[in-house]
Amino acid sequence: MRKALVAGNWKMNGSLAANRELLSALSGAIRGSDAVAVAVCPPAVYLPEVVAQLQATAIAVGGQDCSDEKAGAFTGEIAADMLREIGCQYVIVGHSERRARQREDSAWVARKFIAAQSAGLVPILCVGEQLEDREAGRTEAVVAEQLDAVLDAAGVDAFDRAVVAYEPVWAIGTGLTASPEQAAEAHAFIRNRVAERNSQVAEALRILYGGSVKADNAAGLFALPDIDGGLIGGASLDADSFIGIVNAAAARVHK
């Protein structure tokens, strides 16, 4: 049985005052549950404050990125060990915005994934195709390349301490979501790809959906067989929306 995960990716949003307000609403409403784990991933500069505010709540904290290096002359980068030290449990790696803007390729993302796990963090590995890939029938090839790079580098057993997020790039922040068929197909493809190497690891692997998930479409997505929660961007900045999404994940039938 897989426990759902709903993780909020705040991206480059927030302020001390706005974060406090959002977190006080979330921590007042979100209780520990066997059905769903919840995390927020604020900008790195706010992590210590967010960890402090969420102490003794059911909400975990994650980073939005980590370095593939352990320490040294890497200006502006943040080591996975540092995230762990200040209280993070998760870190997003390979988000499409970083693959595009920072030109992170799959080999680099794989090194970040390994660095995250070495530090004791659970990586949330993002994979997903661009619109032109989907239109050209290349969705599975793109997702396979992103996934295989990490499977090859880290080994399939590493995926028992990881989460995968399928995020079609054309659905991120656009208001478009994958149709249930498109999402179900991509999630099944990811689980099968992992199962080719180890079926037990694949069965236990949490695969999140990300891309314009809102409180009113979450239940439909989370009901699909291979969807185990969501990576939530825009809607994670609004307390009522995020709580609605968490409730939808908690209410889904256990898989």
* Residues annotated catalytic, as ranges: 95, 167
Residue with tokens 């502006």: 76
- Rule CB under 6 A: say whether 232 interacts with ligand PEP: yes
Shortest gap between Cβ of 223 and ligand PEP (angstroms)?
Answer: 18
- Rule CB under 6 A: say whether 9 interacts with ligand PEP: yes
Distance (Å, whole) CA 117 – CA 106: 16
- Rule CB under 6 A: say whether 42 interacts with ligand PEP: no
CB closer to ligand PEP, 147 vs 156: 147
CB closer to ligand PEP, 121 vs 156: 121
Shortest gap between Cβ of 150 and ligand PEP (angstroms)?
Answer: 18
Shortest gap between Cβ of 215 and ligand PEP (angstroms)?
Answer: 12
What are the distances in angstroms from CA 240 to CA 47, 148, 195, 215?
22, 37, 37, 8
For the chain, how far is it from start to end, CA to CA, in angstroms?
5
Binding mask 161-180 for ligand PEP (x = CB under 6 A): ------x----xx-------
Supply the DSSP string of 192-231, one letter for each residue.
Answer: HHHHTT-HHHHHH-EEEEESS--HHHHHHHHTSTT--EEE
Q: Is 60 left (phi over 0), alpha (psi -120 to 50) or beta?
A: beta
- Rule CB under 6 A: say whether 91 interacts with ligand PEP: no
Applying CB under 6 A, the residues found at the interface with ligand PEP are 9, 167, 172-173, 210-213, 231-235
